[in-house]
Amino acid sequence: APPRATGSNSQSAWAALREEAAHCTRCHLYEHATQTVFGEGPVDAALMLVGEQPGDQEDLAGRPFIGPAGQVLDRALAEAGIDRGKAYLTNAVKHFKFEQRGKRRIHAKPDAGEISACRWWIEQERLIVRPQVTIALGATAARSLLGRTVTISRERGSPIDLPDGGGEAWITVHPSFLLRIPEEARKAQEYEAFVADLKAAAARLR
Ligand code: URA
């Protein structure tokens, strides 16, 4: 693996990358989104979390995981003993994809072409941050990281080695999935399993 960029070096590389991403036209999603929502967090973070794509609130604010899914994530991270401020948070797709229904913008799932067009950015982020452990939140993040279709139920709970010194990946559910479970007992159970996945991944950090 190439040497890790360090100190102010990687900070400035990251800032340049973020600026470049602000003008991204690699896929058509930039046409309707408000702005690129780039990753955030320390560029030397040992832990990276990858989501799907920004939601409505993230699109407006320009920051990842600040809406309803972000609130679930914050609570689960705290319960798992993970300091959000010490992790690098990003998304597989960096523009909000939605369908307009009246005044509401309804989340639409990014397709394989959009995920693959956006993979360039996350690869650059990963080269700068070089996390030991990466947690993929949901199938889109897992697909972006592993380059293949992932069944979460089958692959959660144990580490998956990433090629080229990319550390290890842990696959878990997306916090939005938890928000959509109508039945309270099942929701609580799935939430506990999510926290357990986060804990198991964080326990690998040296
Ligand atoms: N869902 C995601 O996957 N990412 C965000 O940033 C917000 C919601």
pLDDT in tens, 10-30: 999 999 999 999 999 999 999
What pTM, to 2 d.p., does this model score?
Answer: 0.96
**Rounded average pLDDT over 23-46:** 98
The predicted pLDDT at position 41 comes to 98
* Ligand 1 center–CA 129 separation, angstroms: 20
Q: Is the CB of 51 under 6 A from ligand 1?
A: yes
> Does the structure's ipTM exceed the value 0.90?
yes
* Ligand 1 center–CA 161 separation, angstroms: 24
Neighbours of 201 (CB within 10 A): 25
The predicted pLDDT at position 206 comes to 79
Binned at pLDDT 50, 70 and 90, residue 117 comes out as: very high
Q: Is the CB of 136 under 6 A from ligand 1?
A: no
pLDDT in tens, 153-185: 999 999 999 987 899 999 999 999 999 999 999
Q: Is the CB of 93 under 6 A from ligand 1?
A: no
Q: Can you list the domains of the chain with their CATH numbers?
A: 26-202 (3.40.470.10)
Q: Is the CB of 175 under 6 A from ligand 1?
A: no
Token readout for 84 is 């959000």
